[in-house]
Structure 1
Amino acid sequence: MMSTPFNRIPAERVGEDSSSIWVDLSALASENNAVNLGQGFPDGPAPKFVTDQLKNVSKHPDLTCAHQYTSGFGHPKLVKELCKWYSYLYQQQVDAKTNILVTVGAYHALYYSFHAWINEGDEVIIIEPAFDCYAPQIKLAGGVPVSIVMNFPDGGTDASQFTVDFEKMESSITEKTKMIVINNPHNPTGKLFSRMELLKIADIAQKYDLIVVADEVYEFHCWGVHKLVRFASLPGMFTRTISIGSAGKIFSITGWKLGWTIGPQHLLAPLKSIHQNCTYACSTPTQLAVAMAFEMEWATFHVKPHKSYLGGYLPEELVKKSKKLQKMLVKAGFAPILPQAGYFMLANYTRLNTAFKTSEETEELDDYAFTKWLCTEKKLAVIPLTAFFANNEDKMRNTSFVRFCFFKKDKTLNDGKKIMKNLSK
């Protein structure tokens, strides 16, 4: 029997067969044994009071509620804790049965949100620079991402100087526009949107009857006088907002891959329909451990937040490490943009006196070329800013910055500091 050559092609919705920058640069960093200040994960120990909960769960193999399938939409104990926390944080009653869905990380929550609500040709507004999974996931669902690029002044030094052109946002809305995606605190800029800015987005959402997907995974990574305003807490916005959170970010346990969506029943119902025929249920022991960690943290947080992990220790660590990286970058010749929240910092590298030169023969963007040179020649891994733009035109206008992650253990930052001292040699 003659064999037929295999010539099948993937579904059109999958798009181009290319790896993400996280895959490429992670491999490059590993290959060169580079100090990794690029990827957004803390490399120090996870909070002991969190990991102790998982340790305690593992000591009781007889607990069915810890080691077997749990409720598909979220472990009862975790859902109960999330209900308590977010009712308090939103100043809005959150119902445990109808308003919460636990997911495999925030990635999964975003995927569900887009696939549950976007039809072929629906348009989704994204504020850029933006996390690089938004546009691909929207396209995979059949939607069309519409980029609204934030303005930033030449010589700007603070993340608050990133501003949204709301007139452009409103003028970009068509009869096909269905959704706005916001990320606050913002990755990669470190911007914390003000209440006034969020109210303008709320007005637009209300005026044009839009769904808002609020990616708030860095919600506890804030410091200083400016506090996070959760979008669902704004007047009238809970009913049209899908809010996304992450245990991985909150408790510095990104490898646990546990997230959630919170919203009104009418918005979450289609997400749950996808979930029950996809994942069905998330990891039971990690859900239980996170629930117990939330329960322990609540005892201090809602009484004396400055004495708690999330309200005290975490922001204190972040601001300390942020200042340390800022000083390192200035001494090395970078021009850093001071973040207001999160654990990322952008820096302009174009004034560095280094041997790096952009090759005229390559089609690579300057920041990609610089990033590869820095990793291979100097053994320091960072992320190019252009990875956070969907359109080539916008990429071409934003090639002067790279993103650093400062939420690293002191040894990692110190190793990075040593490399930076010798960048020009």
Structure 2
Amino acid sequence: MSYNIFISLGMVVNWVLDQDELASKFNSKTKAIIINTPNNPIGKVFTRSELQVIADLCIKHDVLCFSDEVYEWLIYRGHEHVKIATLPGMWDRTITIGSAGKTFSVTGWKLGWSIGPEHLVKHLQTVMQNTLYACATPLQEAVARGLLHDFELMEQPDCYFSSLAVELQGKRDRLACILQQAGMSPVVPEGGYFMIVDVTALNQDLSHMEEDKPYDYKFVEWMIKEKKLAAIPVTAFCGDESRKQFEKYIRLCFIKQDSTLDAAATILKNWSKA
């Protein structure tokens, strides 16, 4: 007998949550849902109303919610990050995941946290104790001091929580403009520091490459070799059912030094001329 234990809510159709489709996935065997906002790789920030739909389903079916919110501070103008745990009835059934690596741009430290009610967190402590065992104490101390420091600077221009998003918005908009000029169709993210790009219009013939790879894998491999520009194939994030829909998308990262973006701009401009 099969059991529907987890619903993973990562990719969305037309960048808007399909409420009817999501509701159809819940049944008496559903135990938990995983959500990711701001989303990677799309960059979508779920609206309060979309999160309320998810919350209502969790409450109706007595389901736990694991909310991946590691990009919570990287929100661009016109959008708001809402923690689903703050919605009525959700605190007691939600684990919220945060990341020091994403919050302070120290990804290599591999530190994060889980926030939730004691009756759920105690089980995560058991998992932690028997898998990772411990994290480096000096790094934990550094993250704690960083959180305290920037908490005191909240609402001020030099608070890192907000200043990074301000800095990255310019880089985001610049990359989107360059990609459009090169004939690609970027999906401008509402949060995070990745941008997915539709490369369909380039009509790049890759028939000479291995047949068993999705188009985006072949495109990225070809682009690295021929254009010296790296990206990630978006189908790496997809399940079997949705992979075909995203074969013409690649993911680029724009949390880069200006000199790196300059080099990418030169490559893309020369590409469009060719």
TM-score under structure 2 normalisation? Answer: 0.94
Deviation (angstroms), 1:151: 1.4
- The sequence identity of aligned pairs, in percent, is 42
Cα deviation code 1:164-221 (max 9, x no counterpart): 2121111122222111100000111111110000000000000000000000000000
Partner of 1:422: 270
Deviation (angstroms), 1:273: 1.3
Partner of 2:38: 185
Partner of 2:137: 284
Output aligned runs, 1:21-170, within 5 Å.
Answer: 121-129=3-11, 150-152=12-14, 162-170=15-23
Contact 1:358 1:369 in 2 (8 A): no
Cα deviation code 1:13-59 (max 9, x no counterpart): xxxxxxxxxxxxxxxxxxxxxxxxxxxxxxxxxxxxxxxxxxxxxxx
Contact 2:197 2:251 in 1 (8 A): yes
C-alpha separation in 1, matches of 2:132 and 2:39: 28
Deviation (angstroms), 1:360: 7.6
Output aligned runs, 1:197-208, within 5 Å.
Answer: 197-208=50-61
Output aligned runs, 1:165-314, within 5 Å.
Answer: 165-301=18-154, 304-311=155-162, 313-314=163-164
The unaligned stretches of length 5 or more in structure 2 are none
The unaligned stretches of length 5 or more in structure 1 are 1-119, 130-149, 153-161
C-alpha separation in 2, matches of 1:279 and 1:367: 34
Deviation (angstroms), 1:121: 3.8
**Corresponding letter in the other structure for 2:221:** K
RCO comparison, higher one (Cα < 8 Å, 6+): 1
Q: Does 1:396 align with 2:260?
A: no
C-alpha separation in 2, matches of 1:211 and 1:305: 36
C-alpha separation in 2, matches of 1:236 and 1:305: 32
Partner of 1:333: 183
C-alpha separation in 1, matches of 2:95 and 2:65: 6
Corresponding residue pairs, total: 272
C-alpha separation in 2, matches of 1:361 and 1:417: 29
C-alpha separation in 1, matches of 2:84 and 2:238: 23
Deviation (angstroms), 1:282: 1.1
**Corresponding letter in the other structure for 1:308:** C
Contact 2:215 2:247 in 1 (8 A): yes
Cα deviation code 1:62-89 (max 9, x no counterpart): xxxxxxxxxxxxxxxxxxxxxxxxxxxx
Partner of 2:165: 315
**347 and 361 in structure 1: CA distance in 2 versus 1, 3 angstrom threshold:** closer
- Superposed structure 1 runs of 4+ greater than 6 Å apart: none
Q: Does 1:349 align with 2:199?
A: yes
C-alpha separation in 1, matches of 2:157 and 2:88: 27
Partner of 2:212: 363
**360 and 276 in structure 1: CA distance in 2 versus 1, 3 angstrom threshold:** closer
**361 and 242 in structure 1: CA distance in 2 versus 1, 3 angstrom threshold:** closer
**204 and 411 in structure 1: CA distance in 2 versus 1, 3 angstrom threshold:** same
TM-score under structure 1 normalisation? Answer: 0.62
Deviation (angstroms), 1:359: 3.6
C-alpha separation in 2, matches of 1:309 and 1:216: 17
C-alpha separation in 2, matches of 1:272 and 1:238: 18
Cα deviation code 1:280-322 (max 9, x no counterpart): 3211000101111112112211xx34442212x2111111110
SS in 2 for 1:336: strand
Contact 1:334 1:351 in 2 (8 A): yes
Contact 1:367 1:402 in 2 (8 A): yes
C-alpha separation in 2, matches of 1:321 and 1:257: 25
**Corresponding letter in the other structure for 2:21:** K
C-alpha separation in 2, matches of 1:177 and 1:246: 27
**Corresponding letter in the other structure for 2:168:** L
**Corresponding letter in the other structure for 2:233:** P
**Corresponding letter in the other structure for 1:175:** S
SS in 2 for 1:362: coil
State which of 232, 238, 244 in structure 2 corresponds to 1:383. Answer: 232
C-alpha separation in 1, matches of 2:112 and 2:257: 24
**Corresponding letter in the other structure for 1:178:** K
**Corresponding letter in the other structure for 1:184:** T
